[in-house]
Structure 1
Amino acid sequence: MQTRASGEQPPRGGWRFLLRALGHRNYRLFFAGQSVSLVGTWLTRVATSWLVYRLTGSAMLLGVISFCGQIPTFLLGPFAGVLVDRWNRHRLLVVTQVLAMIQSLALAALALTGVIAVWHIAALMVFQGLINAFDMPGRQSFVVEMVEDRADLPNAIALNSSMFNAARLLGPSVAGALIALVGEGGCFLIDGISYLAVIGSLLAMRITPRPRVQRHQHVLTELKEGFQHTFHFPPMRALLGLVALVSLMGMPLTVLMPVMASQVLGGGANTLGFLMAAAGLGALGGAGFLASRRSVRGLGGVILVTTLLFGAGLLAFSLSRHLALSLVSLVLTGFGMMVTTAASNTVLQTIVEERMRGRLMSFYTMSVMGTAPFGSLLGGTLATHLGAPTTLAINGAMCLVGAVWFWRKLPELRERVRPIYVRLGIIPEVATGMDMAAERPGPREV
């Protein structure tokens, strides 16, 4: 991977700075194809939640279905990371996208023929979870192969989040109308067709073969190596722990959104779409904020503030009984969660050794998606006994506690990461030989 000279920064200003990662052809293709596909993905997410709730009227089953879709990532994530480090990531993504298209088309066929039942949805969600266990760490690790210049990596990660959350904004916004117009099955069909865009973009790429060290160690040996590399280093351990907490406590927000839309706010599918779009709008703003940043430096403080913002937004949403206030609180919540997870990803991708990237990204995937099934199940169970608003209030309070814990750890984490940033030239003054004392008022790199 190429990199700019130590301390060199890209010229800042205008759209060219914000979109600099799109200067890389392969990433530009991926961005275009994935942008189309992700809109379809969000159509399916909203349609699936609405379909399950329409068929059962059960908050518990909303949690169970979400659990089915995410538990494979938790169970298989670490092993998938080892294989992602061994396999050709480009070919892996082509396979996972084709399989995901088949899954969506199967949902569409069952729904459009009127034979779909909850167990069909659960089984196909498990299948999608198996795909995601390999697709997510593979996609995260593949970014460094599409973006040759390491200096553009943080911008690429931010643009990935922008793409995801722009789809999150657009998808739910039209999902309510589409559900009413063509039904849940029509949404599933549109999603299946949308996968052709990302598959086509992957096939159009020109990938330079990445040198790989042939390994003959047992999978469990390499898994242990990746675990030690990740969890024996305090910054990685702390970031993954915080992301896991935010995902665990934040997932019930998505799971219980249909309940909040219908029972608390007295709306329907359109209200659900507006609520999810508000969260997507906040997340899109967060992605834009990250894309505008010049460097990875200082992201630790950003992560602290946005974790606090996420917890506070979740609390405000749980207490709201008015649509306008709910929309505002979800904008803040979406901003906080997106920046917390994407900024953590940026720091992790910056400090990891290349040979461990797939394994670290599998642990990151576990933190984001692997803990979510337990959050979904917990959220559904608590909502059944305590109600959706109380459940979300408890989760918001737990996120605030997590932010306080991270705040206490932050000074030590900055000291640990500093030598890595020096080696990479992210701290140009030190990297060019200037006295470290000139870095006053103190270490603020993370």
Structure 2
Amino acid sequence: MSVTDDRTAPADPRTKGPDPVPLRRNRDYLMLWSGAGLTLLGSRATSVAYPLLLIWSTGSAAAGAVAGFAAQLPQLLVQLPAGALVDRWNRRRTMLVCSAGCVLSTASVVAAVAAGEVHLAHLAAASFAEGSLMVCYRLAERACVRHVVPAAQLTAALSGNEARGRAAGLLGQPLGSAAFAAARWSPFLLGSVAHLLSLLAVLCVRTPFGARPRAARRRLGPEIAEGLRWLWRRRFLRRITLLISGSNVIFQALALLPAFVLYEDGLSPATVGVIAAISGAGGATGALCGGWGMRRFGLVALVRGALLVWALLVPALALTRSPLLLGALLAAMSLVGGAVSVAGGVHQVRTTPDSLQGRVNSALQLTGSGANALGALAGGVLLDSLGAGRTAVLLGAAMGALALVAVASALTRLLADEEQQQEPVEEAEEAEGERTS
């Protein structure tokens, strides 16, 4: 169904009219929200289990980083083609296929670990496959949100989605690490079940999602280029994304630090879940406050403030080996990050035509997260060579440099220029519909 068809369809009382149904009673939004939450829960549970399996098997942070590298590599290799395909394919079918693929991938690890046939190549391949499918799933789900909620509820819906993602980390990582402590195959079984339940939830969504008409499809390269050209003309969005990209690399390098500290101190791997739970609680709180933060401070102030806060908190990780204090510091970082993610997501969804949602979001994700695989690999090498304390200090200095760049950049002027030149989303969609009809 084309974007024009969706826009001219009979009014839906859930999403149209002066009195839209509250999100808590919007059945299709709840199904979409819960389906994505379940698949994120499964992914978080397995993401912590892959490096734990390797670190506790080999005693090397670099070995654990291999799994992190494989999981993050799709952010670099798969993002752009996935964005074009999400705009081309039926978005519901895309999410269903991705969930089914994740079920098969995690089930293969369950069988291998239970049989005692654990091989690095298999774990890296399974991690890469699950990461690739999750890229496609998230892009499709993000593009679908505006089809199940009215424009007035978009900020609240995206805040709920961001909080859902943080809550998935809050629950998934503790569940994954606790399950790993009980039986090394069990977190992957947990992931398989969560992905299967996600598939069933998406099947229950009734609202049609936007998709490009078959006649408008071209070669993949030109379609990817169309999204990149649109983004290239938005200087503010590009600048913000590059700053966040740098911070994401630093955080990815820090991801193994709690597990490495606990391993050095001889503590249980389940303690990683405690740290993740504390951090996730902070992120969920920040996400729920994201709409308020955007209205109160604006996107520019949120990004600058976040980088400054992170520059102070990252080096503080070098001052403690207490799991509770590590969790508290990470929670403070996640709280700020949750608010920034909501504000940036609202800006992107509101300013991007529906027919370009997948491609623009994939380009932003590539820029913002594409180098995370290198961050994960670098983090393992730094921890092995420098130790946890020096690694935190070095990465804190890098975050401080990013904060200085953000303060010195003319972000407010770029945002004002972009808003003056921005074509309303509705007009852009009408023009796109005329070109593709």
TM-score range, shorter chain: 0.7 to 0.9
CA contact (8 A) 2:180 2:270 kept: no
Counterpart-to-counterpart distance in 2, 1:24 and 1:416: 36
Q: 1:28 corresponds to which residue?
A: 30
Q: 1:56 corresponds to which residue?
A: 58
| 1:280 Cα deviation after fit | 0.7
Counterpart-to-counterpart distance in 2, 1:271 and 1:164: 21
1:85-130 per-position Cα deviation (integer Å, ceiling 9, x unaligned)? 1111111111111101111111111111211122221111122233
Where 1:268 maps in the other structure, the secondary structure is coil
1:341-385 per-position Cα deviation (integer Å, ceiling 9, x unaligned)? 332222112212222211111112223442210111111222222
| 1:418 Cα deviation after fit | 2.9
Q: In the alignment, residue 225 of structure 1 is paired with which amino acid? A: E
Counterpart-to-counterpart distance in 2, 1:209 and 1:411: 34
| 1:409 Cα deviation after fit | 2.6
Counterpart-to-counterpart distance in 2, 1:384 and 1:209: 47
Counterpart-to-counterpart distance in 1, 2:172 and 2:129: 22
Count of residues in correspondence between the two structures: 410
Q: 2:346 corresponds to which residue?
A: 346
| 1:53 Cα deviation after fit | 0.5
Q: 1:434 corresponds to which residue?
A: none
1:374-426 per-position Cα deviation (integer Å, ceiling 9, x unaligned)? 1111112222222233223222222232233223232222312433689579x
| 1:206 Cα deviation after fit | 0.8
Counterpart-to-counterpart distance in 1, 2:38 and 2:220: 36
Counterpart-to-counterpart distance in 1, 2:311 and 2:103: 35
Q: 1:356 corresponds to which residue?
A: 356
Q: 2:93 corresponds to which residue?
A: 91
Does 2:45 align with 1:40?
no
CA contact (8 A) 2:35 2:199 kept: yes
| 1:323 Cα deviation after fit | 3.4
Counterpart-to-counterpart distance in 2, 1:383 and 1:86: 42
Q: In the alignment, residue 78 of structure 1 is paired with which amino acid? A: L
Where 1:184 maps in the other structure, the secondary structure is coil
Higher mean C-alpha displacement, 150-159 vs 203-212: 203-212
Counterpart-to-counterpart distance in 1, 2:345 and 2:352: 11
| 1:76 Cα deviation after fit | 2.3
CA contact (8 A) 2:71 2:373 kept: yes
Distance 1:33 1:340, change over 3 A: same
CA contact (8 A) 2:86 2:358 kept: yes
Q: In the alignment, residue 270 of structure 1 is paired with which amino acid? A: A
Counterpart-to-counterpart distance in 2, 1:170 and 1:82: 32
Q: 2:258 corresponds to which residue?
A: 257
Higher mean C-alpha displacement, 272-281 vs 401-410: 401-410
Distance 1:74 1:405, change over 3 A: same
Q: In the alignment, residue 236 of structure 1 is paired with which amino acid? A: L
Deviant stretches of 4+, over 4 Å? 291-297, 420-425
Counterpart-to-counterpart distance in 2, 1:20 and 1:296: 23
Q: 1:225 corresponds to which residue?
A: 226
Counterpart-to-counterpart distance in 1, 2:56 and 2:222: 47
| 1:247 Cα deviation after fit | 1.2
Q: 2:310 corresponds to which residue?
A: 310
Counterpart-to-counterpart distance in 1, 2:203 and 2:67: 33
Q: 1:431 corresponds to which residue?
A: none
CA contact (8 A) 2:87 2:211 kept: no
Q: In the alignment, residue 237 of structure 2 is paired with which amino acid? A: M
1:121 to 116, 120, 123: 123
Q: 1:377 corresponds to which residue?
A: 377
1:242-294 per-position Cα deviation (integer Å, ceiling 9, x unaligned)? 2211211111222333102222x552213211111121111011111115568
Q: In the TM superposition, what are the counterparts of 1:191-230 in structure 2 within 5 Å?
A: 191-208=191-208, 210=210, 212-213=212-213, 214-230=215-231
Q: 1:168 corresponds to which residue?
A: 169
CA contact (8 A) 1:240 1:364 kept: yes
Q: In the alignment, residue 64 of structure 2 is paired with which amino acid? A: L
Q: 2:429 corresponds to which residue?
A: none
Q: 1:143 corresponds to which residue?
A: 145
Distance 1:176 1:353, change over 3 A: closer
Counterpart-to-counterpart distance in 2, 1:396 and 1:376: 16
Does 2:158 align with 1:157?
yes
Higher mean C-alpha displacement, 214-223 vs 93-102: 214-223
TM-score of the aligned structures, taking structure 2 as reference length: 0.86
Where 1:387 maps in the other structure, the secondary structure is helix
Higher mean C-alpha displacement, 210-219 vs 101-110: 210-219
| 1:312 Cα deviation after fit | 2.3
Distance 1:326 1:202, change over 3 A: same
Distance 1:30 1:258, change over 3 A: same
Counterpart-to-counterpart distance in 1, 2:369 and 2:171: 22
Counterpart-to-counterpart distance in 2, 1:289 and 1:298: 13
Q: 2:83 corresponds to which residue?
A: 81
Counterpart-to-counterpart distance in 1, 2:108 and 2:122: 10
State the Cα RMSD in Å: 2.7
TM-score of the aligned structures, taking structure 1 as reference length: 0.84
Higher mean C-alpha displacement, 287-296 vs 335-344: 287-296
Counterpart-to-counterpart distance in 2, 1:296 and 1:372: 31
Q: 1:248 corresponds to which residue?
A: 249
| 1:54 Cα deviation after fit | 0.9
Structure 2 runs not aligned, ≥5 long: 1-6, 12-17, 427-437
Q: 1:403 corresponds to which residue?
A: 403
Q: 1:280 corresponds to which residue?
A: 280
CA contact (8 A) 2:293 2:302 kept: no
Q: 2:434 corresponds to which residue?
A: none
Counterpart-to-counterpart distance in 1, 2:418 and 2:348: 10
Q: 1:71 corresponds to which residue?
A: 73
| 1:20 Cα deviation after fit | 4.7
CA contact (8 A) 2:299 2:343 kept: yes
CA contact (8 A) 1:73 1:132 kept: no
Q: 1:437 corresponds to which residue?
A: none
